[in-house]
Amino acid sequence: MKTWEIYAIRHATNETRTRGVNFISDPDPTAPLTLDFFCWVLKSDDDVIVVDTGIDPAKGERNGHIQVMSPPDGWAALGIDPEQVSTVVLTHAHYDHLGYLDALPNATFYMQAEEMAYVTGPWMEKPCFRHAYWPDEIARLVHLLYDGRLHLHGREFDVADGISAHWVGGHCAGQEILRIRTKRGWVVLASDALHYYEEYQRGIPFTVAFNISDMIAAHDRIRDLADSDDHILPAHDPRLLDLYPAVSPDMAGRILRLDLRPEVAS
């Protein structure tokens, strides 16, 4: 049975955020809460899948998101030649996930059809829904579609043996999560369905939302698809650095191994 290793590249961070910026109606809104940014690589014995492509640093800096490591440097550190990558999963089209589309020149990209309809449809007339998208990156998706390099799939999709994509919506109309078979069981890479563990643990919504009821319902879907609460990975939580080891000492704070059992470092 095919199993996958999960690697996270911490490509950017924002240490100026507060709980009030991150969570709706937080009782302690001025307390600091760092927002980290991860993108991922899934590796099996004979295959590599890239999940999301990080953030264009020039766009990130406009919002105070400072690059830690470029995703191409992260891929190189993991022994990946971007020219050889054939499969890239885009969990949604927010700009902190689309920054390096052109660094993967031979890949086919996979995304929810609903996300593409959303980012090219009438909701984008509303500033509150379009603010985490950049039109040049959405245009790149259109070009990739016309080049036959973007596959827009339905809500449930098998990416590979042991990896499936599941629509949850909420954070944006086409947000998806990934269910990944690892040596220790089924892990759910929640992407931005969970920015922080706290959302799942307390049932609270993140501030960037298209549909809050779908966002909260996603917590149940995540719970159903993961083997346990210790098999769930949020996308922006600095706690990941405490729970999972770096791949090597020189990659501390930059590349983590997420398919292992989470353990608080002693």
CB closer to Zn ion out of 114 and 192: 192
Place of tokens 């020189």: 250
Taking a C-beta distance cutoff of 8 angstroms, is the pair 118, 173 a contact?
Answer: yes
Pick the stretch among 70-78, 88-96, 159-167, 236-244 that binds Zn ion (CB under 5 A). 88-96
The answer to whether 54 touches 97, Cβ cutoff 8 Å, is yes
Nearer to Zn ion, 94 or 254 (CB): 94
Binding mask 15-54 for Zn ion (x = CB under 5 A): ----------------------------------------
Compute the distance between CA of residue 180 and CA of residue 219 in angstroms, rounded to an integer: 17
Spatial neighbors of 195 by CB under 8 A, at least 6 apart, are 22, 35, 206, 234, 235, 236, 237
The piece of 29-37, 68-76, 86-94, 197-205 that touches Zn ion (CB under 5 A) is: 86-94
Least separation in angstroms between CB 195 and Zn ion: 8
Closest to Zn ion by CB, 10 or 94:
94
**94, 179, 231, 236: which one contacts Zn ion (CB under 5 A)?**
94
SS3 182: strand
CA distance 86 to 174: 22
Which tokens go with 139? Answer: 């245009």
The residue among 7, 17, 10, 110 whose CA lies nearest residue 54 is 10
Cβ 79 to Zn ion shortest distance, Å: 28
Beta carbon nearer to Zn ion, 87 or 175: 175
Contact status: 192 vs Zn ion (CB under 5 A) = yes
CB of 96 to Zn ion, least distance (A): 6
Binding site for Zn ion (CB under 5 A): 94, 192
